[in-house]
Amino acid sequence: MRSLKKDHLIRAIATYKKGNDRYFLFPWAKGGNLQDMLEKDERKLDKDLINWIVCQIVGLSEGIAALHANNIRHGDIKPSNILCDGPDLGASNKSILLIADVGLAKKHEEYTRYRPKITTTRHGSITYEPPEVSPKKELGRLSRKYDVWSLGCVFLELIIWAVYGTNGIKTFHKELNKNATPQFWKDRKVHSGEKVHSIVKKRFKDLKKDLKNLPALAHLVEFIEEKLLKVSVDERPYSTAVYDKLKTIKQDIDNIPEDRFNAELTKLVPKRETPAPAESTNAGTNLATQVSYSIFPALVYNN
């Protein structure tokens, strides 16, 4: 992975072994992780923030496309596995988001799959899993498009956070967590198959309505809804196509005049819920990540 040299992929600086366990040593992520940022970092809604988010979205998609091009699947993309490399929490648009836990996620996923009871923790991996892991389906082969769904979930949360603030993202998760399994999709009760969760659909509807005067930004929301969070694996694009399209959307957003952009965003400020005072925190993410070599049946991946 170090040979990929992508700005949004974390690189191990050392490895060591202790007993039967192997450890990877990574640079200290001073800004914590994306989950910390979404829950605690309230930013001014302006073009600078949106530009930063769009840059991170493009960069993260490039990183995943690079992994997939090298036949590596992440399998556990979620905010807590995306680190903020930059200043302390509170200076998010000066940070770079880094995809972490690459290469370790498969072992983690295998362990989770074969436990008698799967966790439903709020920000556990289950939240960002795609519909193809539905209990109604026989789990065996997972495509690289698994990661594309998870990226779509994270990208949607980034935009919700930007437009509606930290309490907006907390409200979204509170509503999602009313289900026993808080995924972005639900099993149909009557018909076979799965569908996008009604709460997710509502957020897409709200965002498209609120961003209608910024068509390029609304287009980004539509792309996430119509392509990344596509229930059908066959209709979901590969990460290379996602990256290429996002670069084009970014160019359109960059071309919006700053005065017009900020004027439209200012109209959205009243929609933000006022956050509670943040507690003092010493943000940061552990240096070492452990890999356990417990033996479980291996999953079979295809391309």
Residues in the chain: 303
What is the fold, at CATH topology level, of the domain defined by 2-276+293-301?
A: Transferase(Phosphotransferase); domain 1 (1.10.510)
Distance CA 60, CA 125 (A): 18
| Residue, of 169 and 138, whose pLDDT is higher | 169
Amino acid at 146: Y
Beta strand 300-301 with 141-142 is parallel
Percent of the chain with pLDDT over 90: 48
The whole-angstrom distance between residue 215's C-alpha and the CA centroid of its chain comes to: 23
Distance CA 178, CA 124 (A): 15
Spatial contact of 278 and 107, defined as CB atoms under 8 Å apart: no
> Hey, where are the domains in the chain?
2-276+293-301
Give the mean pLDDT of 46-68. Answer: 95
For the cut 50, the answer to whether the pLDDT of residue 20 exceeds it is yes
Output the pTM of the full model.
0.80
Burial of 198 (0-12, 13-18, 19+ CB in 10 A): exposed
C-alpha pair distances (Å), 233 with each of 111, 127, 219, 227, 242:
24, 18, 22, 10, 14
* Least-confidence region, from 21-25, 32-36, 44-48, 294-298: 294-298
Give me the DSSP letters along 165-215: HHHHHHHHHHHHTTSSS--SEEE-SSSSSEEE-HHHHHHHHHHHHHTTTSH
Tokens (6 digits) for 103: 């290469």
| Residue, of 96 and 278, whose pLDDT is higher | 96
